[in-house]
């Protein structure tokens, strides 16, 4: 079982055992991405953040006592107890530089305020200058912040170029942290840096984190947030509106060893929940289920891929040229062609190709866009020792979106129980069969005697 599955199983068990907390909800968040695309043109962030940190070291202490009841008989007993030593720190985050695109330079200092000598180096937080992207570094310990547009009421993963952050929604609640009242969204989280519990405010500031570090419990309490800066993101990339606020449905084919050919593995619908004017977008793909009687799409446990549109496997490309950057690969146009997919003709389609050498093999990717820039076909072929093997293909079906209320037909139950004929009772049918048999036998006997 993968570490992510173990993490999600642990979280699911924790949610079942957790006590339900009720409170006044002052804001709500969406459950999952749909065909609605949110266009964010500004970014707001606090200039200074201060956190009070408690690192708890819990050890088991065993004491032995000896008692004597006589000169001969003695007895010993062991008593175990838990000893907790708290180490305290104060962390200061100061934004010393920023760009309109939300690229921050943050100076992090950590002050040791412990009253007891520490027996370890606390390096969970790295002192010094850090470069943090508000769009591509959510819940980074170098600057605890999550862009509010990334928050959903669900179990999901934010996949960014540097890491993947899994979030499990645990409700909205009123919390008092170091004497200040907050309305927070509670999440269980896990990424390459840490895992644990996080409380996130409506503006994206992280108010509380509970995690572990080298076997120690670490808690970060938001002590203060000072100053707010809002930047206007420069409009450096124009994504035409007809690409957004819609879903893209594809038929997916993968190579099968049994047939030595591409075989259908189902459909996939792709939506774009948010875009920024500098080319950063969010992309989510849902598998379309074909299980009898089940919902067509499962909107739980989804992944949002975040990055520049040139680094993602997007369903569109805004400006087709002789050479383009798509899915982090350099594609070269090999010509234009009339392409027909599922009976739909696409004249003057742009056909691109890329070649990549991997382990003595060449991966050939052929990508086709229609004249408007919509991805209509993608074929991946592996060439090894002169032998070409198709590995993958995605064919465009259309702008179709299946919501969570639609289900696949249930072929195991029948709503029409009326038969197209009248049913004869078993006793009647038996009597008729006996009579007909006797009649036929009698006719045969009579005919035989005449001979």
**3-state SS, residue 150:** helix
Mean pLDDT value of segment 36-58: 95
Please tell me the predicted confidence (pLDDT) of residue 79.
55
Confidence class of residue 309 from pLDDT cuts 50, 70 and 90? very high
* Residues 50-74: tens digit of each pLDDT: 999 999 987 765 655 555 555 555 5
Reply yes or no on whether the pLDDT at 234 is more than 60: yes
Of the pLDDT bands very low, low, confident and very high (cuts 50, 70, 90), residue 8 is very low
**pLDDT at res. 13:** 45
- Can you give the pLDDT at residue 449? 67
Domain extents in the chain: 3-59+89-232, 241-398
Residue 111, pLDDT above cutoff 70: yes
Sign of the Cα pseudo-torsion (293, 297, 299, 300, in order): positive
Mean pLDDT of the chain: 87
- pLDDT band (50, 70, 90) for residue 260: confident
Task: Kindly report which listed range (213-217, 315-319, 367-371) carries the lowest average pLDDT score.
Answer: 213-217
% of the chain exceeding 90 in pLDDT: 64
Statement: residue 219 has pLDDT above 60: yes
| pLDDT score for 183 | 95
pLDDT band at 18 (very low <50, low <70, confident <90, very high): very low
Residues making up the chain, counted from first to last: 451
pLDDT at residue 354 greater than cutoff 80? yes
pLDDT bin (cut points 50, 70, 90) of residue 12 is very low
User: Which of 168-177, 293-302, 314-323, 383-392 is the least confident region?
Assistant: 293-302
Tokens of 234: 């420069």
Q: Which residues pair with 156 in a beta bridge?
A: 167, 302
Q: How confident is the model at residue 352 (pLDDT cuts 50, 70, 90)?
A: very high
pLDDT level of residue 423 (50, 70, 90 thresholds): low
The confidence band for 298, taking pLDDT boundaries of 50, 70 and 90, is confident
What is the tens place of the pLDDT at every residue in 135-149? 999 999 999 999 999
CB 96 within 8 A of CB 107: yes
pLDDT of residue 232 exceeding 90 = yes
- DSSP sequence for 46-98: EEEEEEEEEEEEEEEEEEEEEEESSSS-EEEEEEEEEEEEEEEEEEEEEEEEE
- Please state the rounded mean pLDDT for residues 69-82: 57
Find the helix or strand (DSSP H, E) in which 261 lies: strand 261-275
Residue 407 reports pLDDT greater than 70? yes
Residue 161 has a pLDDT of 87
Calpha distance 357→266 (Å, rounded):
29
How confident is the model at residue 328, as a pLDDT?
94
Instruction: Check residue 294 and give its pLDDT.
Output: 75
Q: What is the pLDDT of residues 121-135, one digit of tens each?
A: 788 999 999 999 999
39 confidence band (pLDDT: 50, 70, 90): very high
| pLDDT (tens digit per residue) in 191-211 | 888 899 999 999 999 999 999
Question: For residue 23, what pLDDT is reported?
Answer: 47
Confidence at residue 404, expressed as pLDDT on a 0 to 100 scale: 75
d(CA 446, CA 413): 53
Asked if residue 326 lies in contact with residue 318, where contact means CB atoms within 8 angstroms, the answer is: no
- What percent of the chain is predicted at pLDDT more than 70? 83
Cα–Cα distance, 44 to 230 (Å, whole number): 4
- The whole-model pTM stands at 0.81
Q: Using the predicted structure, report yes or no on whether residue 80 has a pLDDT greater than 80.
A: no
Residues forming a β-bridge with 31: none
Q: How confident is the model at residue 41 (pLDDT cuts 50, 70, 90)?
A: very high
Residue 15: pLDDT band with limits 50, 70, 90? very low
Task: Give the span between the Cα atoms of 219 and 35, in whole angstroms.
Answer: 38
């Amino acid at each position: 079982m993968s570490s992510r599955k173990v993490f999600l199983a642990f979280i699911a068990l924790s949610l079942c055992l957790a006590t339900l907390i009720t409170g006044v909800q002052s804001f709500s968040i969406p459950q999952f991405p749909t065909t609605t695309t949110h266009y964010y043109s500004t970014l707001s962030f606090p200039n200074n953040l201060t956190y009070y940190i408690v690192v708890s070291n819990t050890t088991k202490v065993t004491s032995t006592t000896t008692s004597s009841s006589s000169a001969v008989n003695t007895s010993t007993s062991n008593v175990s107890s838990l000893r907790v030593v708290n180490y305290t720190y104060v962390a200061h985050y100061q934004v010393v530089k920023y760009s309109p695109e939300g690229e921050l330079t943050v100076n992090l200092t950590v002050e040791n305020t412990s009253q007891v000598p520490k027996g370890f180096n606390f390096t969970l937080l790295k002192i010094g200058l850090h470069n943090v992207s508000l769009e591509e570094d959510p819940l980074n310990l170098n600057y605890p912040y999550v862009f509010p547009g990334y928050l959903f009421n669900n179990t999901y993963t934010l996949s960014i170029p540097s890491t993947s952050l899994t979030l499990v929604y645990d409700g909205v609640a009123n919390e008092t942290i170091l004497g200040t009242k907050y309305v927070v969204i509670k999440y269980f989280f896990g990424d390459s840096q840490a895992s644990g519990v996080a409380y996130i405010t409506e503006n994206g500031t992280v108010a509380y984190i509970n995690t572990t570090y080298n076997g120690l419990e670490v808690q970060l309490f938001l002590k203060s947030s000072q100053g707010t800066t809002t930047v206007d993101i420069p409009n450096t990339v124009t994504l035409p509106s007809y690409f957004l606020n819609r879903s893209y449905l594809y038929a997916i084919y993968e190579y099968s060893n049994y047939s030595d050919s591409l075989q259908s593995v189902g459909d996939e619908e792709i939506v774009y929940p948010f875009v920024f004017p500098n080319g950063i977008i969010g992309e989510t793909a849902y598998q379309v289920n074909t299980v009898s009687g089940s919902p067509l799409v499962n909107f739980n446990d989804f992944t949002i891929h975040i990055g520049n549109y040139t680094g993602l496997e997007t369903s569109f490309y805004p400006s087709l040229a002789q050479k383009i950057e798509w899915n982090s690969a350099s594609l070269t146009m090999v010509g234009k062609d009339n392409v027909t997919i599922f009976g739909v003709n696409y004249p003057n389609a742009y056909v691109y190709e890329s070649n990549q050498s991997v382990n003595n093999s060449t991966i050939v990717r052929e990508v086709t866009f229609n004249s408007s820039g919509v991805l209509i076909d993608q074929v991946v072929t592996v060439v090894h020792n002169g032998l070409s093997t198709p590995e993958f293909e995605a064919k465009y079906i259309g702008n179709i979106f299946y919501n969570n209320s639609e289900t696949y037909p249930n072929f195991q139950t029948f709503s029409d129980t009326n038969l197209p004929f009248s049913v004869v009772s078993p006793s009647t049918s038996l009597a008729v069969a006996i009579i007909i048999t006797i009649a036929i036998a009698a006719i045969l006997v009579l005919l035989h005697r005449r001979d």
